[in-house]
Amino acid sequence: MSEGEARQGEGSPQAGGVTVSDIQELIRRKEEIEAQIKANYDVLESQKGVGMNEPLVDCEGYPRSDVDLYQVRTARHNIVCLQNDHKAVMKQVEEALHQLHARDKEKQARDMAEAHEEAMSRNLGQSEGRSPPQAFAKVNSISPGSPASIAGLQVDDEIVEFGSVNTQNFQSLHNISSVVQHSEGKPLNVTVIRRGEKHQLRLVPTRWAGKGLLGCNIIPLQR
């Protein structure tokens, strides 16, 4: 490859359109140039080991007769031109790798954004498809020191789950009373809505100084 050919190819591959094949072709060209440089250095080596800087005249200033001056000068010129070509190709390889890496990062970021958007849309659709939990009863009063007070129940808490009782199977306060009677000394999971927020409580029906096993008054909500 000549120096002019290398300069002509400096603009390729086009920015943004680089492919793995482009990079492979650039590397092939780089290796070809390196092989040509080595071949010209071998020519210098065959001429009494003359390198790039050794003088081509003897101590008296006459052209050396022990080497082929034409071959040496030609090899030196070729090496200089090929080294320039090599530098240009290496620059192209570096730019192509940078473009490919940048494009891969953009694609990865785009794919992640699309996946996140899809997940958000799916979650939103699921949320819209689920109706919020409906309360079926309300705490009307609580006695201080009672099991209900210790569990963290508060007046006006709206009950959406009381042990096994929920909106779907609640019929009357007798359902709650039955669960309480069969759960004395055992923790019950109670879910309430308090000022628009859901709270999970553990209530243990227990005999205490007051009446009943809970120490609170629960009233049904109109549905």
Is 151 a member of any domain? Answer: yes
The Cα 187–Cα 180 span in angstroms is: 10
C-alpha angle with apex 136: 130 to 139, nearest 5 degrees?
125
Domain end call among 98, 126, 154:
126
The Cα 104–Cα 115 span in angstroms is: 16
Residues 161 and 117 placed together within one structural domain of the fold = no
Residues 150 and 122 placed together within one structural domain of the fold = no
The Cα 35–Cα 46 span in angstroms is: 17
C-alpha angle with apex 119: 114 to 124, nearest 5 degrees?
125
Is 3 a member of any domain? Answer: no
Give the number of residues written for the chain: 223
Is 6 a member of any domain? Answer: no
Is 75 a member of any domain? Answer: yes
pTM summary value: 0.43
SS3 content of the chain, % helix, strand, coil (to 5): 50, 15, 35
Domain end call among 68, 97, 126:
126
For residue 167, give the CATH number of its domain: 2.30.42.10
Q: What is the pLDDT along the chain (223 residues), one digit of tens a residue?
A: 444 444 444 444 544 578 889 999 999 999 999 999 999 999 999 988 888 999 999 888 899 999 999 999 999 999 999 999 999 999 999 999 998 888 888 888 888 888 888 887 776 666 555 566 789 999 999 999 999 999 999 999 999 999 999 988 999 999 999 999 999 999 999 999 999 899 999 999 999 999 899 999 999 987 6
Q: Please state whether the peptide bond connecting residue 205 to the residue before it is cis, i.e. omega within 30 degrees of 0.
A: no
Is 156 a member of any domain? Answer: yes
Residues 38 and 111 placed together within one structural domain of the fold = yes
For 144-178, write each residue's pLDDT tens digit: 999 999 999 999 999 999 999 998 899 999 999 99
The Cα 206–Cα 213 span in angstroms is: 5
Residues 98 and 162 placed together within one structural domain of the fold = no
DSSP one-letter string for 172-223? SHHHHHHHHHTTTTS-EEEEEEETTEEEEEEE-----SSSSSS-EEEEEPP-
For 91-114, write each residue's pLDDT tens digit: 999 999 998 888 888 888 888 888
Residues 119 and 39 placed together within one structural domain of the fold = yes
Residues 119 and 196 placed together within one structural domain of the fold = no
The number of folded domains in the chain is 2
Residues 62 and 156 placed together within one structural domain of the fold = no
